[in-house]
Amino acid sequence: MSKPMHAAADGGTDITARTLRDWALPQPSFDGDKEVRGHVLIVGGAREMPGAVMLAATAALRAGAGKLTIATAASVAPLVGMAIPEARVIGLAETANGGFTLEAARKLGELAGKAGALLVGPGMQDDGATAELVHALLPRFAGTAIVLDACAMGAVRMAGEAHLLDEPKDMAHFRFAEPVLLTPHAGELAHLTDQDKDDVAADPQAAAVAAARRWNAVVALKGATTVIAAPGGQHWRHEGGNIGLAISGSGDALAGIIVGLAARGASLEQAAAWGVALHASAGEQLSIKYGVLGYLAREISAEVPGLLRTLAPA
């Protein structure tokens, strides 16, 4: 899929309304069914945070995905199923620390080849078990658009039996076999790369580009200025939104929007660019309704369909 040509002086691309119109999202045919619109699998949630996976799931559907499967903690799966009646909900066995056991990889592997996009991370707990699960899922979902969010991004630091050893495995030279998308903010990227948060924040473009090359990943480094970097060094920059988006659950909504767009057939870079812009624009719309402070993360996704129509090519 072609990429927009509005390059900045540093070789990057500013994400604007014009950029997005020139980088149009895949559109299903008028007679397409829900499978044509894309099947999303979201793995996340825990006993203490079932809401995160609900926020991401709702956002994925609002972004236009046609079919949704949620895999979450067995203890809260019935609750999630009632809250999101559009979804198939799979209950996963839990670890003592609130993560998922490796049996989840075998169970979810049955959906490989059926789901067009996979999101792992919203609301998950037990960093070690989560990293191990991610590494077990990656080969099973080869060829699938994969988004890693929240503690699932720890897969770049931990693998194998790391959680059993109670210490991280050295992943200094870890690279994904196929590019996936990671969505860290400055603090998370600093942790994942053993840098100082202030250094990352001081030059987010350099930090995102370096991480993307290091991991063979698309990295969406979130902030007041969000930088999206691809493994080959291409990068995009978005400025917008408001402080109201700095609220619990906002990142879950963003991850859901992105994976929903990826399920529709957008590349990881395109899904990230559009997702970041839609998320920021939703914040701007909500600030008009409620004020800059006080709107809720659950309200973000409802703004997305209208924004998609506004930004669609004429």
Binding site, annotated residues for AMP: 222-226, 251
Single-letter code of the amino acid located at 174: F
Burial of residue 204 (number of CB atoms within 10 Å: 0-12, 13-18, 19+): buried
| Summary count for the chain: helices (H), strands (E) | 13, 10
Which residues have C-beta within 8 Å of that of residue 213, sequence separation ≥ 6?
A: 229, 231, 233
The answer to whether the CB of 121 falls within 8 A of the CB of 44 is yes
| End-to-end CA, the chain | 19
Residues forming the annotated binding site for (6S)-NADPHX?
52, 123, 185, 252
Phi and psi at residue 255, in whole multiples of 5°? -60, -40
Residues forming the annotated binding site?
52, 123, 185, 222-226, 251-252
The answer to whether the CB of 277 falls within 8 A of the CB of 238 is yes
CA-to-CA separations, 48 to 99, 124, 201, in angstroms, rounded: 11, 9, 30
